[in-house]
Structure 1
Amino acid sequence: MSNAPYPLNRTAYLLVDPYNDFLSENGKVFPLIKPIAEQVGLLDNLRALDRAVRAQNIPVIIVPHHRWEHGDYEGWDHPTPTQCKIMHMHHFARGEWGGEWHPDFAPKDGDIVVQEHWGASGFANTDLDFRLKQKGITHVIIVGLLANTCIEATARYASELGYHVTLVRDATAAFRAEMMHAAHELNGPTFAHSIVTTQELIEALAQQE
């Protein structure tokens, strides 16, 4: 699943949840993913991919989780376990350092920042599909956090909408190795068109020149 062609004028790079809380040393969530993030080289791989896709003029789409604000999720009929955790831990709080972009992955001029997603999918209740269609995108490369939650949910939704989906197994992380295994070895192959490493993707993109 590593030799898929990428039409550069119809491919977009979706970076999910590049917040300090996820990617920075003092983030609230980073300590939970740090062992796997370091094992796969997450930050260096995201930096390498950022350089590669920008060199090819592939659109960069930031797909952010909803930033917690006072009162969020309170009184909801059935918030998910993750939403309950965010409500109590104030992950990605708006106006706080943890809810700001990691400095290496902050949006640059020309990037698109779509509406924040409340659940796991970057498509549900946001403008992501609309923005991609307006640019004629048919292929999406999805990276960021977490492999078995927002990445998987966004990628599944993308495949349901008819996009060609690429997952990058070492440009994401999770809380446990079992979650990474499930995301890339068990679940991913049922919906993703391509599951590659960072190096394989960079080489595939270079071949499209």
Structure 2
Amino acid sequence: MKALISIDYTHDFVATDGKLTTGVAGQNIHDALLAKTREFTEQGEFVVYAIDKHEESDTYHPEMKLFPPHNLAETTGRNLYGELQGYYEQTKRQENVYWIDKRHYSAFSGTDLDIRLRERGITEVTLVGVCTDICVLHTAVDAYNLGYTITIPKSCVASFDEIGHTWALGHFENVLGGKVVGK
């Protein structure tokens, strides 16, 4: 069984006016990411939206010292980017669609993601979203440590750091044994 984990593809991480945007790099993966999400959803595979959620008042969170405030609760910055938001709204009540608010880089850290995957017999995860070298990477490391097979479609991940993006793609394959597929 397979699952798609869509990581942080939100207004704040992708839109030109986003608070911590990947800009054009993130915008360029929109169509491929949307198509991959539709494919998994329509095939009845488990689709997880793992979305960063921060509170402006949370001065103890280490990201508040590293990055400008982003993906703040109750803001439009947390909306999924582009057509993905509308697609999510259409499908969010389906049994195979699940939303996780995450507080850390990894979609596994402090969430019930591992339990949700295991109760469905899922052994393979496909990771899409942003940032390749931050939240996608940390999710991949945890997936590896938990024994999941990992696939990353190259056309469905992006970062604001091209060097970090390229390094992470190599790390997925050479260190985590993941399959990086596509162009």
Aligned to 2:78: 99
Specify the alignment match of 1:15 in structure 2.
6
Aligned partner (choices 39, 45, 52) of residue 52 of structure 1? 39
Give the drift of 1:122.
Answer: 0.8
Q: Is the 8 A contact 1:23 1:43 kept in 2?
A: no
- TM-score, normalization by structure 1: 0.76
The CA RMSD measured in Å over matched residues stands at 1.8
Partner Cα distance (1:127, 1:55) in 2 = 24
Cα distance in 1 for residues equivalent to 2:26 and 2:177: 22
Q: Is the 8 A contact 1:36 1:176 kept in 2?
A: no
Give the partner amino acid of 1:134: E
Aligned to 1:158: 143
Residues in 1 aligned to 2:23 and 2:56: alpha-carbon distance in whole angstroms: 28
Output the CA distance in 1 between the equivalents of 2:80 and 2:17.
13
1:90: Cα distance to partner? Answer: 2.0
- 107, 113, 125: which one pairs with 1:122? 107
Structure 1 position 85, deviation (Å):
3.5
1:45-194 alignment, distance < 5 Å? 45-65=32-52, 67-72=53-58, 74=59, 76=60, 79-80=61-62, 82-86=63-67, 89-106=68-85, 107=88, 108=91, 109-110=93-94, 111-114=97-100, 116-185=101-170, 187-189=171-173, 190-194=175-179
| Runs of 4+ more than 6 Å apart | none
2:65 is aligned with what amino acid? C
SS of residue in 1 equivalent to 2:154: strand
1:103 to partner: Cα distance: 5.0
Q: How many corresponding residue pairs?
A: 175
Q: 1:133 to 1:29 in 2, by over 3 A?
A: same
For residue 25 of structure 2, what is the aligned residue in structure 1?
36
Tell me how far 1:102 sits from its aligned partner.
2.6
Structure 2, unmatched stretches of 5+, are none
Deviations 1:31-87 (A, max 9, x none): xx224335xx3111112212222232211111111x222321x2x3xx53x34244x
Q: Which amino acid aligns with 2:20?
A: V
Once residues 165 and 127 of structure 2 are traced to their aligned partners in structure 1, the CA distance between those partners, rounded to angstroms, is: 15
Q: Computing the radius of gyration over CA atoms, which structure comes out larger, 1 or 2?
A: 1
Q: Which has the larger strand fraction?
A: 2
